[in-house]
């Protein structure tokens, strides 16, 4: 049989290789927060003729919005990010008139505006939501696995795998934000919470097998039971992820611009979630049961004692 558990430290290493660059980028560059969190206005216009971003910036600057970013895309669509411009305010009407005078008529595709204080409130709410989701899931797993020796171990292992997935996605978006200017918005938080749900969903299926096989004493050692269970559920885990990845890929390719990065976040999270449930969560159970961390720490301490004074 495939020995997945035996190579557990390679799997952990692979996870680290993916996570560390993201975390480095996160500490250096943070996330490129959208107006949902910072406050401000996002204004998408379809002009009647092609325009240069610089021209639009000039008009904005001339009317008191100097630090705006302007992007243009196909079909003469202009995307403006600027400080808060209230819907229905005279400032907005004035700016619209100025833009019309300069570039001719345009269609307003969308305008989103968030006040600065609201942005901070949303940010706090998002952190709280992720924390609550983690706690809720931890509680449920501890309850679902209450008949095992160590119900909280399963919960904690699932949470670590979940944090792994969150770290992968947040790290990737930090890098994407830094290199490509991709923003993190309220939908991204939605994607994160969905990933949390899916990650745990996947982990539970594997854990459930372990629970069953432990009861049946399917293998002599805990390590072997875990390996047996992981291999048994491997095909199912891959197939499930594949079907979800199929639907997400379809959305990513054909689903339109507004949810593209939302879908990308889900896609990365689902792949990571499958990996972490097979290669991390179950392996953490083994590491814990074998008291490998204890032995590792003991060895460290032992070495320190051997160092001559």
Partner 1 sequence: MRIKPWQTLIVILLLTLAAVWVDLPGQSLDPLGWKSGITVRQGLDLQGGIQIVLEARPPAGVEVTQDVLQGTRDTIERRVNGLGVSEPVIQTRGSNQILVELPGYRDPEQAVRVLQRTALLEIIDTNGQYLAPGTIVNTTAGPASDVLGSEPTPTAEPAATPSAGETSTPSATTSQTGGTPTSANGTPTPGATPGSESTPAAGGSAGTTASPTHEAGATPTPEAQGPVYETIITGAELRDAYPTTDQFGTLVVGFELKGEATRKFCEYTSSHVGFPMSIVVDKQVISSPRIESAICEGRGIITGLNAQEVNELVLQLKSGALAVPLEVVQSRTVGPTLGQDSIDKSIVAGLVGLGLVALFMILYYRLPGVISVIALLMYTSFVFALFKLIPVVLTLPGIAGFILSIGMAVDANVLIFARLREELRLGRTVARAIEEGFDHAWPSIRDSNISTMITCVILFWFGRYVGATIIQGFALTLFIGVAVSMFTAIVVSRNLLRVLLTSRLFHNLWWFGLESRPMEAVSAAGD
Residue 233, C-beta contacts closer than 8 angstroms, at least 6 positions apart:
205, 206, 209, 278
Residue 207, C-beta contacts closer than 8 angstroms, at least 6 positions apart:
141, 145, 154, 157, 158, 281, 282, 285
Q: Does 29 bind partner 1 (CB under 8 A)?
A: no
Complex with partner 1: residue 96 or 160, whichever CB lies closer: 96
Give the binding range for partner 1 (CB under 8 A) out of 104-112, 278-286, 288-296, 297-305: 104-112
Which 152-191 positions form the footprint of partner 1 (CB under 8 A)? 186-187, 189-190
Q: Report yes or no: 143 and 189 within 8 Å, Cβ to Cβ.
A: no
Q: Report yes or no: 158 and 200 within 8 Å, Cβ to Cβ.
A: yes
Q: Shortest distance, CB of residue 212 to partner 1, whole angstroms?
A: 7
Cα–Cα dist 197/199, whole Å: 6
Complex with partner 1: residue 5 or 266, whichever CB lies closer: 266
Cα–Cα dist 163/155, whole Å: 12
Which 56-95 positions form the footprint of partner 1 (CB under 8 A)? 84, 86-94
- Strand 106-114 relative to strand 40-47, pairing: antiparallel
Distances in Å between the alpha carbon of 89 and those of 48, 158, 258, 261? 24, 49, 26, 31
Q: Shortest distance, CB of residue 28 to partner 1, whole angstroms?
A: 27
Out of 56, 60, 114, 159, point to the residue binding partner 1 (CB under 8 A): 114
Number of residues lying near partner 1 (CB under 8 A): 81
Q: Does 205 bind partner 1 (CB under 8 A)?
A: yes
- ∠ Cα 167 171 175 (to 5°): 175
Q: Does 274 bind partner 1 (CB under 8 A)?
A: no
Out of 11, 228, 262, 279, point to the residue binding partner 1 (CB under 8 A): 262
Which 40-59 positions form the footprint of partner 1 (CB under 8 A)? 44, 46
Out of 248, 264, 285, 287, point to the residue binding partner 1 (CB under 8 A): 248
Out of 29, 180, 236, 294, point to the residue binding partner 1 (CB under 8 A): 236
Give the binding range for partner 1 (CB under 8 A) out of 122-130, 170-178, 216-224, 292-300: 122-130
């Amino acid at each position: 049989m495939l020995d997945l558990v035996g190579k557990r430290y390679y799997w952990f290493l692979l996870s680290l290789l993916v996570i560390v660059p993201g975390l480095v980028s996160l500490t250096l560059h943070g996330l490129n927060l959208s107006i949902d969190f910072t406050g401000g206005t996002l204004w998408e216009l379809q002009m009647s003729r092609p325009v240069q971003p610089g021209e639009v910036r000039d008009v904005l600057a001339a009317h008191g919005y100097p630090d705006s970013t302007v992007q243009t895309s196909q079909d003469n669509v202009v995307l403006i990010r600027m400080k808060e411009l209230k819907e229905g305010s005279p400032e907005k009407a004035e700016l619209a008139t100025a833009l019309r005078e300069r570039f001719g008529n345009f269609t307003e595709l969308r305008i989103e505006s968030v006040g600065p204080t609201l942005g901070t409130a949303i940010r706090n709410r998002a952190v709280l939501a992720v924390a609550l989701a983690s706690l809720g899931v931890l509680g449920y797993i501890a309850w679902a696995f209450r008949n095992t020796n160590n119900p909280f171990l399963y919960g904690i292992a699932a949470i670590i795998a979940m944090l792994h997935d969150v770290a992968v996605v947040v790290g990737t978006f930090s890098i994407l934000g830094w290199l490509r200017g991709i923003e993190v918005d309220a939908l991204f938080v939605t994607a994160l919470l969905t990933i949390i749900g899916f990650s745990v969903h996947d982990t539970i299926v594997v854990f459930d097998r372990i629970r069953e096989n432990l009861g049946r004493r399917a293998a002599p050692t805990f390590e072997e039971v875990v390996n047996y269970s992981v291999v048994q559920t491997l095909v199912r885990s891959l197939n499930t992820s594949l079907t979800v990845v199929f639907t997400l890929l379809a959305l990513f390719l054909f689903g339109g611009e507004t949810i593209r990065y939302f879908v990308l976040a889900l896609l990365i999270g689902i792949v990571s979630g499958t990996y972490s449930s097979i290669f991390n969560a179950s392996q953490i159970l083994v590491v814990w049961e074998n008291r490998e961390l204890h032995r590792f720490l003991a060895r460290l301490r032992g070495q320190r004692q051997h160092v001559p004074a």
